[in-house]
Amino acid sequence: MDTIESVAEIQERTRKLRAEGRSIGFVPTMGFLHAGHRSLMRTARERADQVVVSIFVNPLQFGPTEDLARYPRDPEGDARQCSEEGVDLLFMPASFYLPDHATKVQVERLTTGLCGASRPGHFDGVTTVVARLFGLVHPTFAVFGEKDFQQLAVIRKMVADLAMDLEIVGAPLVRDTDGLALSSRNKYLSPEDRTRALTLHRALFAMRDRLRTDGKGADLEPAKRIGRALLDADRIDYLEIVDADTLAEPTADTRSLRALVAAFFGTTRLIDNVGLDL
């Protein structure tokens, strides 16, 4: 595995790979890697000639009151995990944006609800960094986890709207043995808060069970009430059942539903979601 710190070098290396006809599977991350990231790398490894992972804690996607400075980092552990997963190129930029960077990539509508409502500007930061990463890495496809379900939808939309020449692959969320969705932010939880955070997936699964009992087309409110009652959080940011494609309120045209939740345990905000195939 080669570790590359320069934007010019990653762009040159990946351009050459594509010119030689090799496929590139790309996994963008912010580091502090865990089994969830490793499953994204495996998905890329299975399908691509070359796997590129980037590690960059992107300041543009953090709000003024968010945890950029204390975002966990472990460059050596990350490099070891990437190497174990057979990654070919690890891109850890020493400097990422041009000094006079002036471009913002913004996807409308999909970014206004759910996480977008409580984290204004967050998805603009995500799409801006991901667009630049795609320009640097020349991926044939890029893998994103369904854990960040809204992020995945927003990136798919950006790629479609801007006719970017790559495929976006969604990979299933990975849970710990006790059911907690894996996240770099789990590290911030006290043991008590971690136990309470298990109510995230319990609430989602209970909602799914209720909807399975109620059947297609049923009123969604009783399921949401059950979810809210089960959640033992300090604050619920949102708990919603939406159309999985539009992330808006379900309509007669809705093909599948998704339940999504964001809640605070102490000062740590966690998200989780589940598909509601009835």
Catalytic residue ranges: 37
Q: Treating both helix axes as pointing N-terminal to C-terminal, what angle do 35-47 and 75-84 enclose, rounded to 10 degrees?
A: 40
Asked if 111 interacts with ligand PAF (CB under 6 A), we say no
67 binds ligand PAF (CB under 6 A): no
Size of the site for ligand PAF (CB under 6 A): 10
Looking up tokens 């692959």 gives 169
Give the H or E element holding residue 265: strand 257-265
What is the smallest separation between the CB atom of 19 and ligand PAF, expressed in angstroms? 26
Toward ligand PAF, which CB reaches closer, 115 or 207? 115
Residues 6+ apart with CB under 8 A from 168: 141, 142, 144, 152, 155, 156, 159
> In sequence order, which residues have a C-beta less than 8 Å from that of residue 11 and are 6 or more positions away?
135, 136, 137, 138
The span from the CA of 156 to the CA of 164, in Å, is 10
Alpha helices in the chain (DSSP H): 7-19, 35-47, 75-84, 115-118, 122-137, 149-161, 191-197, 199-214, 221-230
Among the listed ranges 80-88, 89-97, 126-134, 245-253, the one in contact with ligand PAF (CB under 6 A) is 126-134
CB of 118 to ligand PAF, least distance (A): 16
Selected binder of ligand PAF within 9, 67, 74, 148 (CB under 6 A): 148
Q: Which of residues 33 and 207 has its CB atom nearest to ligand PAF in the complex? A: 33
The piece of 16-24, 98-106, 112-120, 124-132 that touches ligand PAF (CB under 6 A) is: 124-132
Residue 221: CB minimum distance to ligand PAF, A? 31
- Cβ neighbours of residue 108 closer than 8 Å, sequence gap 6 or more: none
- Contact with ligand PAF (CB under 6 A): which of 126, 153, 173, 271? 126
Binding mask 19-48 for ligand PAF (x = CB under 6 A): ---------xxx------------------
- Its sign, for the CA torsion 230, 235, 240, 245, is negative
Nearer of residues 151 and 199 to ligand PAF, judged by Cβ: 151
Per rule CB under 6 A, is residue 129 in the interface with ligand PAF? yes
By CB under 6 A, tell whether 74 contacts ligand PAF: no
DSSP 135: H
Minimum CB distance to ligand PAF smaller for 130 or for 137: 130
Taking CB under 6 A as the binding criterion, the range among 65-73, 79-87, 123-131, 233-241 that sits at the site for ligand PAF is 123-131
Phi, psi of 218 (to 5 degrees): -70, 160
**What is the sign of the dihedral through the CA atoms of 106, 185, 38 and 256?**
negative
Would you say 11 and 125 are in contact if contact means Cβ atoms under 8 Å apart?
Answer: no
- In whole angstroms, the minimum distance from the beta carbon of 135 to ligand PAF comes to 14
- Residues that bind ligand PAF in the complex, under the rule CB under 6 A: 28-30, 58, 61, 126, 129-130, 148, 151
